[in-house]
Chain A
Amino acid sequence: MQLDDLYRQVIMDHYKNPRNKGKFEDGAITVDLNNPTCGDKITLQLKVNNGVVEDAKYTGDGCSISMSSASMMTAAVKGKTLEEARDMIARFSQLMLGEDVQFDDYEDIEALSGVNKFPARIKCATLSWNALRKVIDEEQFNK
């Protein structure tokens, strides 16, 4: 078991210098999600206009894996249509299963591929992506 497989430089950079951390005052769809088994929590906010994610922010408390994943996800999702965002979620799931998938539009995400070798930490990496799915569901089905 190689720790460096998990804690890659890119991940630590996103952990220590988080992108898009913060809150919108208004005009955003907000979802709170907890990981009840470990206490990690995230509040994800998306501004969606005509089916396109214009901006994304998050706040939360969690480990380096969950918070760096949130940082990457919010950076990657900006400018994407909701369908493209759903496709990213699906690709991220494949990445967690150890499959060889590309994130050409935001390569940092591929650094999380090592999480696959640490099964106990997969739920950390997927927390923010589950929040993203909830936001999209809310936007598409509850309007």
Chain B
Amino acid sequence: MRTKRLIHSASLLLILLSVMLSGCQWIQDPKSLMSVPRLPTEKANLKSMIASQLPEGAILIRPTSSDDASAIRVTDLNNDGLADTAVVFYETPEKEVRIHGMVFHRDGDSWRMVVDFDGEGIKLDSVELIDITNDSRLDLVVGYGSNDTDLNKGLVIYTFTQDGINKLFEQPYSQFVIDDLDQNGKNQLFIVNNRRGQSPVLTAFDYQNGKMVKLNELAMDKEVNMYINMVSGFISKDHKGIVMDASAGANYWLTNVVVLNKDKVLEQVLSDDMTLKPYFTTSADINGDGIIEIAMPETPSGWDRLYESYEIPYFTNYFQWDGSNGLKLVDKQYRDYLDRFYLTFPKSWYGRVTVDTKSKKDEILIFVDQNTNEKLAEIRFFTPVMWDLNKEKWTYLSSFGDKIIGIISKEPLKLNKGLPKIPELNNNESNSK
């Protein structure tokens, strides 16, 4: 009888307790129930496998200048349609060797670590999976760097083997590209090196008979301090080449364009004095036609000599290689020196547009026809209050900090990328200040 009563009261207490406990959960903040979305099983397996193999204190790192910035790269090594290999890099800050890599192979549904290898340097600059050995299998190209971006970095090419990786090649580099420049279906490696006090060297390598063989090298302008930007691709309708933007001398910049000529020899197609520029501009395929343009600043007429370089509202001209030794203009833009906005001039303005010398780069810019002095367009920097008063008449261009930049023009202009803009959003933000 007594035990029965005891059981009775105990169960009652249990129910009360559970109600109270569940009551506590009821008022749980929904935010605390959020969680990172799960990975698909395969990826989750791989991730937990990697985590189990990582030494204590190690963290996964991402390359800083690769197109693919993911930390874990899963790839189809042998092109059979099945992702079979994973590559990760990790950092052990307190150890002698800072950067390490791991390669995993897939075994059915699980992953197996094949190799844990030591990297070089203290920064992971780039990681590419690309076929450089021309065997239809991807190879691993890794750029290791230091804390100083100006110094040469180390390029290492690994090939994947059955039981790990094999270091194929190692070279210092400042910039590199891998491309099929002679369009023979095989990739080549092009490395540019800085050499202190000497001219930088552009070297072409090719994979032959189990090793990377130097094809050719080209000494660049001695004045070049370092190459900042290096891109490869089509430079004319059917020619591929390498375009390199560099800082040179005391305070100027230049662009080199290099091709592989008929004899598979590296050759510069433009003379250096054609591409000298007073400040750095990045060459790229600016108009999306698949051909790389060379960016060159132009001093608007009326500004040369009278003004300091920093005062001049430069235009930026984009040229394409004409196939021999010349350049042709394909695009003319005004780009803000702080990159706050840019606009593309219509073809009709070419040869006659300039900037009124009363203009100030941070306040007002008046584009005029240099022959008739007729105003073509005007850019003005407004405070939010002033913008509110003028926004009916002016077209929103950009905003930054507490400035709103507006434009009026006689002709329709392509502003920035020409994408839809939302001045309200920026406007409100500026107003809410």
| A and B interact physically | no
